[in-house]
Amino acid sequence: MHITPPLLLAGALCALGLGLAAPARAAVAGRADAGSDVYDSECAECHSLHAGKNKKGPSLAAVTGRTAGTVPGYKYSDALAHSGIVWTPEKLAAYIAAPKKVVPGGKMKYDDGGDLTAQDIADLLAFLKGAH
Ligand code: HEC
């Protein structure tokens, strides 16, 4: 059988393309211990991880999977209280990166999310998942 060089080249490029695309699609694995440091420097000023302890922001105990605006005793903005958001890891990542975009009219004053790396965010989310 005879394969022409252009076809061979196309096949090689295709294999290369698949090989390169795979790692880019894979999610960054989060490390909860490193996430604890991210939390301490970025979030702890305004958020406690103890259930029932609200600071400038509401407690983030067991935040992963819960409906937004539902911590008892915390006075939320109307925007967040009525957002209907459920805090999946994806929603949390989007909110941390741009709180005012995800909840226009919300009152979380946090603008540093853009400085966090994908690894920082994955670590933070892994840490929050374990925070009950
Ligand atoms: C300067 C204070 C401040 C910082 C820093 C801050 N937050 Fe907040 N956060 C708030 C406030 C205030 C609210 C309430 C927003 C509202 O009612 O609109 C809030 C709300 C939230 C909520 C919604 C909780 C719920 O019960 O629905 C999440 C999730 C959250 N913050 C995560 C984070 C994370 C994670 C970080 C760190 C990366 C962080 N915040 C940093 C002040 C802060």
CB 127 near ligand 1, within 6 Å: no
Residue 107, in any domain of the structure = yes
Cα–ligand 1 centroid distance for 45 (angstroms): 10
What is the CB-side half-sphere exposure of residue 27 using CA atoms within 13 A? 11
Count structural domains, the chain. Answer: 1
CATH of the domain at 109: 1.10.760.10
Query: Residue 114: its pLDDT value, please?
Result: 87
Segment 109-118 long-range contacts (CB within 8 Å, at least 24 positions apart): 110/42, 110/46, 112/42, 113/42, 116/38, 116/42, 118/28
22 domain-assigned: no
- For residue 57, the enclosing domain spans 29-129
Residue 79 CA: nearest ligand 1 atom is 18
Within a domain: 40? yes
Is residue 9 included in any domain, yes or no? Answer: no
d(CA 26, CA 128): 21
pLDDT of residue 51: 95
Read off the pTM.
0.84
User: For a substitution probing ligand 1, which of 110, 119, 120, 129 has the most ligand atoms within 8 Å of its CB?
Assistant: 110
Residue 14 has a pLDDT of: 47
Ligand 1 pocket, residue 110 CB under 6 Å: yes
What pLDDT, on a 0 to 100 scale, did the predictor assign at position 19? 47
User: 34-69 pLDDT, tens per residue?
Assistant: 999 999 999 999 999 999 999 999 999 999 999 999
pLDDT number for residue 5: 55
Q: Is residue 70 part of a domain?
A: yes
What pLDDT does residue 26 have? Answer: 55
Query: Which residues in the chain land under pLDDT 70?
Result: 1-27
Query: Is the CB of 125 within 6 Å of ligand 1?
Result: no
- CA gap 43, 59 in Å, rounded: 11
Asked, for residue 7, whether it belongs to a domain, the answer is: no
